[in-house]
Amino acid sequence: MEGFVNDAVRFYTDLIGRAEGPMTFRFVLQPTMALLMAVRDGFKDAKVGRAPYFWTITHDPVHRSASLNEGVKATGRILVLGLVMEIIYQYRVFGTFHVLEAVNFIVLLCFIPYLIMRGPINRLAHWWMARRHRSA
């Protein structure tokens, strides 16, 4: 139990410590890239009339797996870039590599922004396209 507590304390200390020091540009770069992918995919969803992404994942068990796979494919390059940057960061700062920290941090910076923003962007794109269609 003590090892688990020590690992948890190290995990949160390392997570908070990432806000300063080398490679802090990751905090802007990775969520921005995820946002760009969410804009692209949100507009695609609006064009074909799909329900918002997060809604589909949480309320449509038939399409849940396919939607998650689509999201991982869309953010795949960002996730790989995040992993490479995390490996470099951890070896520079800690001299070792912690897999769970890397996975949690990459999901937090790369996939969560995509997951949160794709649906609202879909709604805004749908509203904008409907408004544009009415005025034409």
pLDDT digits (tens, 9 = 90+) for 64-90: 999 889 888 888 888 898 899 889 888
d(CA 26, CA 102): 13
- Is residue 40 predicted with pLDDT exceeding 80? yes
pLDDT digits (tens, 9 = 90+) for 95-127: 988 888 889 889 988 889 998 999 999 999 999
Residue (of 72, 67, 83) closest to 37 by Cα position: 72
Residue 53 CB coordination number (10 Å): 26
d(CA 102, CA 17): 14
Residue (of 128, 118, 127, 108) closest to 35 by Cα position: 118
Q: What residue ranges in 1-135 does DSSP mark as E strands?
A: none
CB 11 within 8 A of CB 5: no
Confidence of residue 4 (pLDDT cuts 50, 70, 90): low
CA angle (127 as vertex; 122, 128 as ends), nearest 5: 95
Q: What residue ranges in the chain does DSSP mark as E strands?
A: none
- Is residue 62 predicted with pLDDT exceeding 70? yes
CA angle (24 as vertex; 21, 29 as ends), nearest 5: 170
Q: pTM for this one? A: 0.78
